[in-house]
Chains A and B, each alone.
Chain A
Amino acid sequence: MHIAEGVLSPIVLASGGVLTAAGTAIGMRHIKEEHLMIVALLAAAFFVASLVHIPIGPASAHLIMNGVAGLLLGWGAFPAILMGLTLQAVFFQYGGLLVLGVNTWNMAAPAVLLGFLCRPWLARPGKGRATAAFACGAGSVLGAGVMAALALVFTEEGFLRAAQVLLVAHLPVAVAEGFVTALLVQFLAHARPEALGLS
Chain B
Amino acid sequence: MRCLLFFLLVVLASGALAHRVNLFAMVERAEVVVEASYSKSKPVVGGTILVYDGVSGEPLFEGHTNDAGILRFPIPAAAPLHGLTLVLHAGEGHQATWTMDASEFGSPATPTPAPGASPSPPRELPPAPPASAVDPAALDAAVRAALHSELPALLDARLDAKLAPLRRVLLEDNGPRLHDILGGIGWIVGLVGIAAYFKSRHHVR
B interface bracket (residues with beta carbon within 8 Å of A): 35 or more
Q: Are A172 and B12 in contact, with the CB atoms below 8 A?
A: yes
A interface bracket (residues with beta carbon within 8 Å of B): 35 or more
The answer to the question of B184 belonging to the interface, with a C-beta cut-off of 8 Å to chain A, is yes
Determine the residue in chain A with the shortest Cβ distance to B88.
A4
Q: Which residues of A contact B189 (CB under 8 A)?
A: 40, 44
Q: Are B196 and A59 in contact, with the CB atoms below 8 A?
A: no
- Taken residue by residue from 61 to 98, chain A's Cβ proximity to chain B (1 for < 8 Å, 0 otherwise) reads as 11000000000000000000001100110011111000
Cα(A83)–Cα(B183), bound, Å: 13
The answer to the question of A173 belonging to the interface, with a C-beta cut-off of 8 Å to chain B, is yes
Q: Are A59 and B21 in contact, with the CB atoms below 8 A?
A: no
- Taken residue by residue from 77 to 97, chain B's Cβ proximity to chain A (1 for < 8 Å, 0 otherwise) reads as 000000000000101111111
A151 with B93: in contact, given A1-B19, A62-B16, A168-B15 (CB under 8 Å)? yes
Q: Which residues of B contact A173 (CB under 8 A)?
A: 13, 16
Number of A-B contacts (CB under 8 A): 132
- Taken residue by residue from 140 to 183, chain B's Cβ proximity to chain A (1 for < 8 Å, 0 otherwise) reads as 00000000000000000000000000000000000110001101
A7 CB, nearest partner CB in chain B, Å: 5
Query: Interface stretch among A50-58, A111-119, A129-137, A185-193?
Result: A50-58
Neighbour of B93 across the interface among A7, A33, A48, A50, CB < 8 A: A7
Q: Are B183 and A56 in contact, with the CB atoms below 8 A?
A: no
Q: Are B185 and A165 in contact, with the CB atoms below 8 A?
A: no
The answer to the question of A21 belonging to the interface, with a C-beta cut-off of 8 Å to chain B, is no
Cα(A5)–Cα(B87), bound, Å: 12
Q: Are B188 and A43 in contact, with the CB atoms below 8 A?
A: yes
The answer to the question of B123 belonging to the interface, with a C-beta cut-off of 8 Å to chain A, is no
Q: Which residues of B contact A175 (CB under 8 A)?
A: 5, 9
Cα(A74)–Cα(B144), bound, Å: 78
Q: Which residues of B contact A172 (CB under 8 A)?
A: 8-9, 12-13, 16
Q: Are B192 and A93 in contact, with the CB atoms below 8 A?
A: no
The answer to the question of B73 belonging to the interface, with a C-beta cut-off of 8 Å to chain A, is no
Q: Are B20 and A87 in contact, with the CB atoms below 8 A?
A: no
Partner-B contacts on A (CB < 8 A): 1-8, 31, 33, 36-37, 39-40, 43-44, 47-48, 50-51, 56-62, 83-84, 87-88, 91-95, 148, 151-152, 155-157, 162, 165-166, 168-173, 175-176
Partner-A contacts on B (CB < 8 A): 5-6, 8-10, 12-21, 89, 91-97, 175-176, 180-181, 183-185, 187-189, 191-192, 195-196, 199-200, 203
A sample of 5 cross-chain residue pairs with beta-carbon separation below 8 angstroms, ordered by A number, consists of: A33-B203, A59-B16, A87-B184, A169-B12, A175-B9
